Amino acid sequence: METFKKSAAELCEIAQRAKELNARVNIPTTPAGVAYRAEQENWEYEEVPTQGGKGGMKKVYFLPDYVIDELEKKGLSHLLTSDKPSVAAQPKPRRSSPAAPAVGVPFSMRAMVAEYADWAQAQDTDAIVPVRYHVNVFGSAGGGYAVDEPVETEAMWFRAAFFNYLGVPPAQCFCTRVRGDSMHPTLIDRGTVLWKMQNGYTREGIYLFRQVDELRI
């Protein structure tokens, strides 16, 4: 399989062009979202000179197998070979998701790791619902956290049965991250929390509220 490299902006452009073709692809639609995904999945990348990047450099990511496979299966592989010459085919190992190495896994369970991709593909995803995930919004105890940049929103996926159990519609929920460890171990630094929208205090619990321009927990 050919190796492709794309910057965050170019990946966002691919996602936008796929949307214009009425196709849904598992690619973030913002540069911040791409950077977050790449960090979480440990994508390989190179730094190349640019006038727009920090310090004159920007990251160009080696696309994981699952991104390329999805585009090919949906007939969108032509989006990878745009007019922009960022496609640099080089024989370099690429990470495949959701495949994972079996390092540290008991020998008797390594077959489960090896078979994960096939098992995951066969699962029923019809009852999966998205919840808004504000990837660059943090709640913080104490001094709070100031939101001084445009909010970047992606999707966090849950089983619909989970919200049926809670008795809360997913439309009234959202996720943010946590900054600081003053509430450890209840909340951990850079952890993710699912919140329910509420316009008043109802009972004891953990609340995320806005005070002037700061988010406090």
pLDDT at residue 100 is higher than 60: no
Pairing of strands 128-139, 173-178: parallel
Give me the helix-helix angle, 8-20 and 31-41, nearest 10°: 110
Average pLDDT over residues 158-186: 83
Percent of the chain whose pLDDT exceeds 90: 2
Helix ranges (H only) for 21-84 are: 31-41, 65-73
**Does the pLDDT value for residue 145 go beyond 70?**
no
pLDDT 10s digits, 47-78: 887 654 445 678 889 999 889 888 888 888 88
Tokens 């991104």 belong to 67
Q: How crowded is residue 6: how many other Cβ atoms within 10 Å of its Cβ?
A: 25
Confidence (pLDDT) at 90: 41
User: Given pLDDT bands bounded at 50, 70 and 90, which one contains residue 127?
Assistant: confident
Element (H, E) at 155: strand 153-159
Q: In this predicted structure, what is the pLDDT of residue 95?
A: 45
Alpha-carbon distance 67 to 79, whole Å? 12
Q: Write down the domain spans for the chain.
A: 5-121, 128-216
Question: Which value, in Å, is the radius of gyration of the alpha carbons in the chain?
Answer: 20
Q: How far apart are CA 36 and CA 86, in angstroms?
A: 21
- Judged against a pLDDT cut of 60, whether residue 191 lies above it is answered with yes
